[in-house]
Structure 1
């Protein structure tokens, strides 16, 4: 049964990203898929909203000062530089529901536009002050892969 988030919901609060690992169907794992020290936060509110953003900590700075993504400076950057910035950062927000040890994120906004209006299902486990979120298997380079992100409560 799916239940709306409640006051005794163990996910409520803000969490800081500790690690991101890709686990492949053949049993091998690729640690540090977002770099050795990924940066990011995920927040769950008591009224059923959530937001997440994370990035590689070793992202290259842009070649010129950009004060706003809507500025002419942003539009004049090389497409390769923009692609690098885009592919090293991920963010989305929306609402969520819980069902046992599964949390489903319903996306209302996302850095990847095709995700808007979709639901992302995550299995979670709690261990003291950490929560581990695991994706459903996805095809990555022709290999079924599960992504595991470990977050620490702050």
Structure 2
């Protein structure tokens, strides 16, 4: 994959949603979302991002594999899950489109699926856009801006 401008690690700067009428929903992942996306030369990718205002658990949980996490209220677990997103797999580029083939994901239904993103560059930033996606009963395009690390 020569001349692949996506190679490397990028830090999340912003996440917005664009409605069909052009209205913008700012900060769909909070005011200052945090996250990283990495593209490797061997066509592997991984991404994780979260709201920056996530509430800590009410008990000190050291590992998601321990039994302490099972003591948490369902509402706390749900809040943690819905404020964090991650997946990894392979990717292919075709023009200004990148297809992420999902091999592991925080949302189990994504396993084995392809997530298509268009991309554009502006200096040290890349913007990734989803195709129109039904979200909360409304079709939206999600736009995430990343800055090269």
TM-score category, normalised to shorter length: over 0.9
Q: Which runs of 5 or more residues in structure 1 are unaligned?
A: 1-5
What pairs up with 1:103-114 in 2 under 5 angstroms? 103-114=98-109
- The alignment yields a C-alpha RMSD, in angstroms, of 0.6
Deviates more, 1:134-143 or 1:92-101: 134-143
Query: In the aligned structure 2, how far is the partner of 1:140 from the partner of 1:38?
Result: 19
Aligned 1:76-87 pairs, distance under 5 A = 76-87=71-82
Partner of 1:58: 53
State the aligned residue count: 149
Answer with 10-19 or 70-79: which moved more.
Answer: 70-79
Moved runs in structure 1, 4+ residues, more than 4 A?
none
Q: What is the TM-score with the length of structure 2 in the denominator?
A: 0.98
Give, in whole Å, the separation in 1 of the partners of 2:28 and 2:107: 18
- Structure 2: any 5+ residue segments left out of the alignment? none
TM-score in terms of structure 1 length = 0.95
- Give the structure 2 partner of residue 3 of structure 1: none
The match for 1:125 among 111, 120, 129 is: 120
Aligned equivalent of 1:31, options 26, 31, 35: 26
Superposition deviation, residue 72 in structure 1: 1.1
Alignment of 1:68-79 (within 5 A): 68-79=63-74
Distance 1:126 1:46 in 2: 19
